[in-house]
Structures are given as structure tokens and as C-alpha cells.
Structure 1
Amino acid sequence: MSGPDPLVIGADGLARPAWAAADPLLRDYYDTEWGMPVRDERGMYERLSLEAFQSGLSWATILRKRPAFRAAFAGFDPDAVAAFAEADVQRLLADAGIVRNHKKILAAIGNARATVALRESGGLADFVWSFQPPTTPRPVTADQVPTSSPESTALAKALRSRGFTFVGPTTMYALMEAVGIVDTHLLGSHRRGSSGIWPD
């Protein structure tokens, strides 16, 4: 999602960044979901898991596989995934509908267990939101969008201390963008300010 591309005006007259302008799946995700606040545990765990699986791959690949991911991971119910055993790991490794990466699969299961444990400290969603910065970027072009921040670095460190894996600063910044903690919609995009968290 980086590069110097300006906004693209779609056939509907709406301005979007280049990454969301061509592929209908990405366009729908951008128009309806990306950057909107996620405050529930299951929703946050799902997005954290998908961001980890996305590492090294395109987001379009993950979106296309999301229905299969949801089926394979019990709808991203942390309690259900936390109970997965070795037989489930083997089932997931044989599932062509998802990303069959052994380390990422183990991370998703371990992160579910860490999510359950985090309830004693207020829960995953509130924990992630506690790293909201005092300001948000105001990018004009995609190359002005940060890939990490002091807050995402601190969040990554804090999650690792709680037993989470595949939660590096770049992945956590992408999560913060996806769930509305920061607004990196380009200035002039029809979605800028849509979260209601930050003024446009």
C-alpha cells in the first residue's frame, strides 16, 4: 500500500488510493471496513490473526481467503481456537483454502490463548486501543503513510510480553490502521475521517 500514487477518481466519482481503486474486493473493503473502529475481542483477534498471516503476502490474497480462514479457525472465536490441539494443526496445514504456514498457524493458536489470558487485564481490544496516539498522520500520497510508529513499536513489545507472536511494529501499525486507531486515509479520499475517531 505504499508508493507515490495520488488518489484515483472512480467511475462513481469517489476518490480512493490506487490500492483500493481497481480490485472490486479491495474497493469494497476500503469503502466499508478498513479504518472503521473495532472494539470487540473477536473482531480484534481476527484482524490481528489476518495481519499476521498477511506478512509477506498481498492483502488481496488474505481477503479472498477470509471466508476459508473463518471456517478453519472457528469464526476466530478465541476460546475455540485456544483449545486447538495437534490434530487441528495438521487439519489446518492440509487446508488449501488458507495460508498453510506452520509458524503462522501456531501463532494464531498461541495468540488465541494469549487473548483469553488477557481478559484478566481488560481484554485484547481495550489493550490494543490503549496505544492510540495523540495525533494521526495526514498523508497526501501513499508514500507519506508511515509503516510503523512509536506506538506500534510499544504495542508490539507489550503484546510480546503477554505471549503474542507475529506482532512486529509494522504488522501492528497495519492493525492500528485497519481498526481505526490511526486514520491513514489520504487527504481528499472519500473515506477520510469516516471512523469518527479523528477529524478529517
Structure 2
Amino acid sequence: MNDRPSLRERKKAKTRAAIRKATYRLAAEHGWDATTTDRIVAAAEVSPSTVVRYFPVREDILLTDENDELLEARLRARPAGEEPLESLRAVLLEAVRTSLDEEPDETLLRARLMVEIPAVRARLGETTAETGRRLARALADRTGRSPDDLEVRVFTAAVLGALREATVHWAEHGRTDDLVALLDRTIDILKGGPALPAHP
């Protein structure tokens, strides 16, 4: 069986990458408000219809990529007896670690824009929901439940929401701390909540 992407799929991925690269460069140089679709079209050397076809909402260029399918596959590949929270910890933290290693400037810029631009922050919630639906399907299969099961939906949404909030906290506080360590700590918080103060 040949798992190699077809020529058409490779061309689509290359086009998406070109649009994303041009957008990040423009946003870094001119700010998000000045990073118009017309400028993106010119910088990426594609047509306006191509940009809209791949990214119906401009903010999606910053927030969506091909990682959701990979995340789902990696979650399905985790050991069968592993606790769901630990499975999500492993795949999500590895994705963030890879992003920081391979695209450090883009990751930092995306975090800054999440804080500074309300439209980016609002759209993040919608794209996170789509990621959650994919991961919920994988968790449902691993636990013998339905993807629409209340516990599966609430659990997945809670984990992703917590990691999103931790990322915003990181961005608001200068983006200098170790983000992966902060997200790891966030997973621990989900296990037991904030520690109570010690009584004298």
C-alpha cells in the first residue's frame, strides 16, 4: 500500500504553506490589520479565490494547519490501557514542542496575535472546537463510547480549553517561560485543581 501523498495533495499542501508563510511574514512586518487578503495574494503569488478556498476566514491562515489529522492518528496509536488524560498530554504536548522547534517565530507571533487581536482570539475558539471533535472521535473509540457521549465531549473540551487558556496566559506574560512545561503543569491542574493554602 502506498501512503505517499498524491501529486495533487502535495501541490495543495505546498500552496497552503506558501499562503501561510506569506501571511506570517506580512503580519510580522506590517501588523495584522495591514495583512489584507490582497497583500497575501500578491505575496504568495496565488489568486484571491485560492486563498478563500483554502482559508475561508482570514484568521484561519494563522490558526489552522494539517496537524489535526496527525493528532487524531497519534492519539489512536497510544497504548490501549493508558489513561485518556495522559494520552492527550502526550500527543498535544508533542505537537506544541514540534511547533516551537520547527516554527518558533510563527508560534510566538500567533500567540501574540491571539492576545492582541479579538478576531483571532474569537476564531481560535471555533478552530479548537473542530480539533476537539476529531480527538473526541479517537477517545470515543478507545473507551468504547459514542463520540457524542457527554463525558467524552466535556472531557475533550475541558482539556483543550485549559491548554488554550494556558497559552493565552503565556502570551500575556511575555512568552518567555517554557510553554511545554506550562502546558504540562496545566494538565496536572486538571487532575486536582489549584492547591489549597496551607493552614497555620
Q: Considering the TM-score relative to the shorter chain, is it more than 0.5?
A: no
Structure with greater helix percent: 2
Question: What is the TM-score of this pair, normalised by structure 1?
Answer: 0.28
Question: What is the TM-score of this pair, normalised by structure 2?
Answer: 0.28
By relative contact order (CA 8 Å, sep 6+), the higher-ranking structure is 1
